[in-house]
Amino acid sequence: MSLVKILALSDQVIERVYSLTTSGHFKDVDLVVGCGDLPYTYLEYIVTVLNVPLYYVPGNHDPDFNPRDARSKVEGGSNLDLRTARCNQTLIGGFGGCIRYRPDGANQYTQSEAYQRAFQMAPQLLLNRIRYGRALDILISHSPPFGIHDDNDPAHHGFKALNWLLRLARPRYLFHGHTHFFRNNIAEHETVSEATRIINVYPYRTIAIEQRPFA
Ligand SMILES: [Zn+2]
C-alpha cells in the first residue's frame, strides 16, 4: 500500500510552518493543499521550498480570480475552484468560497448560487467515474458542508451544495477551512459522513492517505 502525504493549510499564517518547511520537517510531503484565506506569498514560499504540486481554492478573504492579474493567483500552484485534477493516482476537486454574508464580498455565494456552481462540476465528476472508476479521492473547499463543522452565525453557515457534491462524488476526504473558532465549541475536527472523512484543516495538518490504483 503506498501512501500520499498531504500538507493541508487554511486561514492563518503559522510562523512555525515556515521553520518546519525550511528545516526539512515536511520533506516527505507529496502534495500541498490550500483551503483558502491564506496570503498567496505563504503558499508560494511553502511550495517553492518543498517543490511539490500545490492545489488550492480561494476563500472569502482572497481576491476574485482574474487571469490577467498575477496577484490573484498563487505562483507555482493550481487554482482548483470548480475543477478537478489528477495527481498521480489521486483525483482532487476544488470548491472555493463561503456563504454570502456581505453584498460586495469576494468569493461569497448564496446557497442557490453555490448549487449552480456545484452543478458545473457534475460533467467532470461523471467523466472521472467513466475514466478512472471513481469521481474523486479528495474534495478541497473553503467552506464546510451544511450542518458539519459549521455554525449559526451568518458568515459560517456551511454550503448545502457541498453535501450534494459529497453524495454525488463520494470522495474519501473533504478538506476545508473557514470555521476556525470551531475548536472552542466542538472537540472534533474530523467527522465521517457516508463515504467521506471530513477534516477541518485549520490552521494546518498533515494527512497520509492511501493511494488507490484506478479501476
Ligand atoms: Zn473564510
Each domain of the chain, given as residue ranges in start order, spans 3-210
Predicted confidence band of residue 57 (pLDDT cuts 50, 70, 90): very high
How far does residue 214's CA lie from ligand 1's centre (Å)? 34
What's the pLDDT band for 63 if we cut at 50, 70, 90?
confident
Q: How far does residue 35's CA lie from ligand 1's centre (Å)?
A: 9
Ligand 1 center from residue 169 Cα (angstroms): 24
pLDDT of 83 > 90? The answer is yes
Instruction: Provide the grid cell at 92.
Output: 482532487
The rounded distance, in Å, linking the Cα atoms of 90 and 80 is: 14
Q: For position 202, what pLDDT does the model report?
A: 94
Task: Determine the distance separating the centroid of ligand 1 and the alpha carbon of 59, expressed in angstroms.
Answer: 5
pLDDT score at 71: 80
Residue 184: is its pLDDT beyond 60? Answer: no
Query: pLDDT (tens digit, 9 = 90+) per residue, 125-175?
Result: 999 999 999 999 999 999 999 999 998 899 999 999 999 999 999 999 999
Place 186 in a pLDDT band, splitting at 50, 70 and 90: low
**Mean pLDDT of the region 5-16:** 96
Residues 6 or more apart whose Cβ sits within 8 Å of residue 118 = 95, 161, 162, 164, 165
pLDDT confidence of residue 185: 53
> For residue 179, is pLDDT > 70?
yes
Q: Does the pLDDT at position 62 exceed 70?
A: yes
Torsion angle of the four alpha carbons 16, 20, 22, 23, in this order, in degrees rounded to the nearest 10: 130
Distance of CA 56 from the midpoint of ligand 1 (Å): 13
Residue 187 has pLDDT above 70, yes or no: no
Residue with more model confidence, 22 or 188? 22
Q: Look at residue 70 in the predicted model and tell me its pLDDT.
A: 79
What is the grid cell recorded at 204? 494546518
Lowest mean pLDDT among 7-16, 24-33, 75-84, 186-195: 186-195
Flag whether the pTM goes above 0.85: yes
Residue 21 CB-half CA count within 13 A: 23
CA distances from 4 to 1, 31, 90, 91, 114 (A): 10, 8, 8, 12, 30
- Record: fold of 3-210: Purple Acid Phosphatase; chain A, domain 2 (3.60.21)
Ranges of H-type helices in 63-210: 111-132, 160-169
CB contact at 8 A, 143 and 108? no
What is the CA(127)–ligand 1 centre distance, in A? 30
Q: How far is the CA of 155 from the centre of ligand 1 (A)?
A: 8
